[in-house]
Amino acid sequence: MSTSSAPVPTRPHALPTTESGRRVTFVPPRPRARTSRRVRRRRLALGAVAVAGAVALGASAIGALAGSSGLQLPPMPPVFPGTVFTPSADDGFIDDGMQVSLWDDDLPAISRLDPELLAAMRAAEARAADDGIRLGVTSGWRSAAYQQWLLDDRIASVGEETARAYVATPEQSRHVSGDAIDIGPVDAQYWLISYGSEFGICQTYGNEPWHFELATTPGSECPPMRTDANG
Ligand SMILES: [Zn+2]
């Protein structure tokens, strides 16, 4: 797909205004509910303590049983409660609150995106820069393990129904397939919602103004949005 030689449509070099000339006000998205890292770490630590305690209790109960009955039981296998999955940069993880560049090719979050989506986003970025808007990437490609971790983490913090409205399963996630990208800050989201279709880029979930996919032919209208990641 080549958009470099296509004629540039004329449009105002400013964010849209209302008929009266006032700037359209943009209601920022509801911040994603998250659990702080410290709370998550504490939860993990408490979980580990609970597991270790249960293992110790079980072992002593079995030991008592074996001692009283004279049974010879095989030794308990070692348990490592600390081996909990933590997403890394190799899984496409980008720290909470961080934004990376569309040119950070050394990050799998960027390099494992669909090449067509990445090319379209870079073309859009160049045009956005003309309007003084910087497109930052808050999430790109994700490993299936990271997506599952994200879903579990959100379910634990906001409950199943809300979590599933925002986080797809690894099988369904467009991030895992490399076909979706999350953009910030809010002015960049608004710019991409307004002009992304010139590059084939569309907001695809009504409840996620930060989430974009290649969803139309460049220059055509975007298809109707799905309500949320569950719909
Ligand atoms: Zn997304």
Amino acid 13: pLDDT: 43
Amino acid 164: pLDDT: 95
Q: Where does a domain end: 51, 84, 117? A: 84
Question: In angstroms, rounded to a whole number, what is the distance separating the alpha carbons of residues 7 and 200?
Answer: 15
Q: 65 with 110, same domain?
A: no
Q: 133 with 187, same domain?
A: yes
Question: In angstroms, rounded to a whole number, what is the distance separating the alpha carbons of residues 167 and 228?
Answer: 9
Amino acid 55: pLDDT: 47
Q: 115 with 190, same domain?
A: yes
The CATH number assigned to the domain holding 126 equals: 3.30.1380.10
Q: 193 with 100, same domain?
A: yes
Count the neighbouring beta carbons within 10 Å of the beta carbon of residue 122. Answer: 15
Q: 52 with 94, same domain?
A: no
Q: 107 with 188, same domain?
A: yes
Residues of the chain with pLDDT under 70: 1-83, 231
Beta strand 136-139 with 201-203: parallel, antiparallel or unpaired?
Answer: unpaired
Question: In angstroms, rounded to a whole number, what is the distance separating the alpha carbons of residues 146 and 176?
Answer: 9
Cα-to-centroid distance, 56 and ligand 1 (Å): 42
Please tell me the total number of residues recorded for the chain in this structure: 231
With beta carbons less than 8 A apart as the criterion, state whether 222 and 202 touch: yes
Amino acid 230: pLDDT: 80
Cα-to-centroid distance, 72 and ligand 1 (Å): 55
Q: 102 with 204, same domain?
A: yes
The edge-to-edge listing of strands for the beta sheet with 136-139 is 136-139, 180-184, 211-214, 201-203
Amino acid 125: pLDDT: 98
Cα-to-centroid distance, 154 and ligand 1 (Å): 14
Domain count, the chain: 2
Amino acid 219: pLDDT: 97
Q: 69 with 97, same domain?
A: no
With beta carbons less than 8 A apart as the criterion, state whether 148 and 213 touch: no
1 domain-assigned: no
Amino acid 163: pLDDT: 96
